[in-house]
């Protein structure tokens, strides 16, 4: 069961990393303010972004955990009497892939962008 959980966790981490990498590629480039007040304002925006992203990731992980049926699958495997039954049990593994189990931080990034613009940042690219 631990092996199955580790595999599910690794898959979720890889999926999150790839999703974040794709999300970063679509962020508009900003010219950030250089004044101490502007830098302090941007730091506050970044803190809010980090908290928002963490909350969204935690929410998605919670949904993924609730969808993970590895315990039931392991029980099925433990009770299996032959290899065919084991394979049937393992085929039922969901690995937490259900609706809402992938974090969506688009609103967090948009809020950070609006915050940065209010701090005096300028967009370089549309």
**77-103 per-position pLDDT tens digit:** 888 888 888 888 777 765 545 666 788
Cα separation, 26 vs 28, in Å, equals 6
**56-68 per-position pLDDT tens digit:** 999 988 887 777 6
Instruction: Give the CB-side neighbour count of residue 16, counting CA atoms within 13 A.
Output: 19
DSSP of 68-81, one letter per residue?
--HHHHHHHHHH--
- Tell if the pTM clears 0.85, that is, is over it: no
Cα separation, 111 vs 71, in Å, equals 39
């Amino acid at each position: 069961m631990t092996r199955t959980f580790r595999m599910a966790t690794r898959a979720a981490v890889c999926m999150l990393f790839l999703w974040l990498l794709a999300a970063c590629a679509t962020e508009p480039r900003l010219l950030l303010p250089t004044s101490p007040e502007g830098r302090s304002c941007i730091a506050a925006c970044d803190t809010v972004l980090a908290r928002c992203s963490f909350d969204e990731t935690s929410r998605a992980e919670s949904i993924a955990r609730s969808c993970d049926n590895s315990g039931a699958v392991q029980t099925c495997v433990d009770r299996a009497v032959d290899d065919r039954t084991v394979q049937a049990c393992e085929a039922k593994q969901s690995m937490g892939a259900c609706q809402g189990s992938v974090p969506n931080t688009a609103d967090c990034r948009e809020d950070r962008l609006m915050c940065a613009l209010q701090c005096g940042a300028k967009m370089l690219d549309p």
